[in-house]
Amino acid sequence: CNGVHVKLARRKKRRKTPPKRCKVVRNKRTGRRRKVCKKKVHRRRPAAAPIPQPLPQIPVPSAAAPPATTPGAFEPPPTDDAPAPAPAPPPPPPASAPLTRRDAERLLWRAGFGPRRGEAETLAAKGRTAAVESLTRPVGSPSFNGPSPVDEDGFPIDPENVWGHDHTWWIDRMVRSSQPLVERMTLIWHDWFATTNDDVGDARLMLEQNRLFRAHALGSFATLAREVTRNPAMLIFLNGLENHEGRPNENYARELMELFTLGADRGAYTETDVRELARALTGWTADWDEEAGTYIDFRVEPWLHDDGTKTLWDGTSYEKSGAFDWEDAVRLCLEHPMHAEFFVRKLWSYFIPTPPSDATRTELQSLYVSSGRQIRPVVEAILKHPDLYDRAKPMVKPPAVYTAGLLRARNRPVDTNAWSWLGQMSGQQLFYPPNVSGWNDNGWLDTSTIRGRWETVYVAIAPYEIDGDDYPADETPEEALDSALAFWDRPTLTTETRAELLRFATESIPATLASWEQGYMRAYRQNALRHLIATAPDFQTS
């Protein structure tokens, strides 16, 4: 009896802060999932955006190394375990596969954030295999080209304490890093294991999770899934701290299977499996630091863990039964016979908008399993696949990728915090995905987000605006278009887009202008052409 009273007293003592009562619900119309809580302790969300309407004639996709310490740049503390080294991948497709400049542009956009000036030509000269491996096999820690980010007043940004600086901090890494694929994979994992600071309420923990994604960006998926499961931001977001023996919370167990490892509506698990997996995940707790206003000391307490026998996938040939804990829960999901296919299909969708053929999918699944569930070999194979370079398979660039690409093309430093609210307008504020399913890639371009992209271009090119003084008054429309294309390092455009731009350049200067107005109007035309090129469908997609 004394033991029981001690256990109850300890449990009561730790309940200083009443836990939030949350559940994950599914929208019956869209099928997407979101978390609903009775009590919220975070800042108010922005007002609801207008109902988006798809824009016509815009292609839409089907889905969606440790950092160096640089002066003035924020780095969250390292994770407990270093990323496991990836084994050498099997031989790639034929090394003789050519790579055109247009192919190199697409590769740099899909495996990074677009080309810097002259980078597409340099990459194309390497051929497809060498070009891909130069991105997937970076050596050492990344370097950062250019000055560290500052705010509008020239002071270093403070991502832990100032609103929007977390978004700006990450945009800066995307722009300046010498390892763009590592940053792009970090963005993919942020969407895959979507966690929002609206619910976590601690930028420090969100940045720590970001560091986790980067450290394991191209390593072992098994290690990544394990570390995410015990990550403080995830434990808060999906109620891991409320999942205890006798009153299990099923939120993380459900999403671990549905969104992270197995997929929904495939027959991979049942509601009973969700409950049994939730029991295996019990035991996590943390202490509330009243002074800091956050949780600290995340750990598993044996007296909060359900150590009874759990049975998963009962009645199948792969049924598992035992006194499983949280590490077993992750391992068993990855050993499920339907995991490899889910992993390959979902990872593929971030790079190519159409599903892989059955033969390709089978090959990638075999590669993933034989490599010990390593990420790098599968990414390499996808980036070398002919489907990635198919002209008929464009993808809309995510807003963060689009923004970083504009700055990379101009080699412009991050010297304003405008990128945070512009990202919000465009539909992607980093560290704030809309729900547990991540961002909806089908909504990247619609009537509620296109204005954000238009404003993003305006801010990106504002320092280079031409005021009209001493501008050539005899510049022809062809010369104007050529100059504007050179401003963006001559991105590949379709014949139709070039024709429309030339038509604008021709018709925008009235023939009746006085001679003293000619130079000014041609300067304004040049500013407009630069903006139109960056907002054209060719530049919005890759």
Q: What is the pLDDT of residue 514?
A: 86
Distances (CA, A) of 77 to 69, 210, 223, 458: 11, 11, 18, 36
Q: What is the pLDDT of residue 68?
A: 37
β-strand partners of 396: 541
Residues 102, 494 contacting (CB under 8 angstroms): no
3-class secondary-structure state, position 388:
helix
Q: What is the pLDDT of residue 97?
A: 81
Q: What is the pLDDT of residue 8?
A: 40
Q: What is the pLDDT of residue 291?
A: 86
pTM: 0.84
Distances (CA, A) of 460 to 401, 412, 428, 506: 14, 8, 17, 25
- The pair of structure tokens assigned to 4 is 């029981």
Distance CA 542, CA 110 (A): 7
- Contacting residues for 423 by C-beta, under 8 A, at least 6 apart: 167, 171, 399, 400, 403, 429, 430, 452
Residues 88, 381 contacting (CB under 8 angstroms): no
Distance CA 51, CA 143 (A): 42
Q: What is the pLDDT of residue 192?
A: 98
Q: What is the pLDDT of residue 443?
A: 84
Residue with tokens 């990128």: 419
β-strand partners of 446: 54
Distances (CA, A) of 392 to 23, 386, 541: 41, 12, 12
- 10-residue mean pLDDT series, the chain (542 residues): 43 43 58 57 42 43 38 40 46 64 98 97 97 96 95 94 97 98 98 97 97 98 98 98 96 98 97 98 95 92 97 97 98 98 98 98 98 98 98 96 98 95 97 96 90 97 92 95 98 97 95 86 96 96 95
Q: What is the pLDDT of residue 78?
A: 43
Positive/negative CA dihedral, 118, 124, 128, 131: negative
Q: What is the pLDDT of residue 21?
A: 55
Identify the CA nearest to 49 among candidates 455, 450, 536. Answer: 450
Q: What is the pLDDT of residue 512?
A: 85
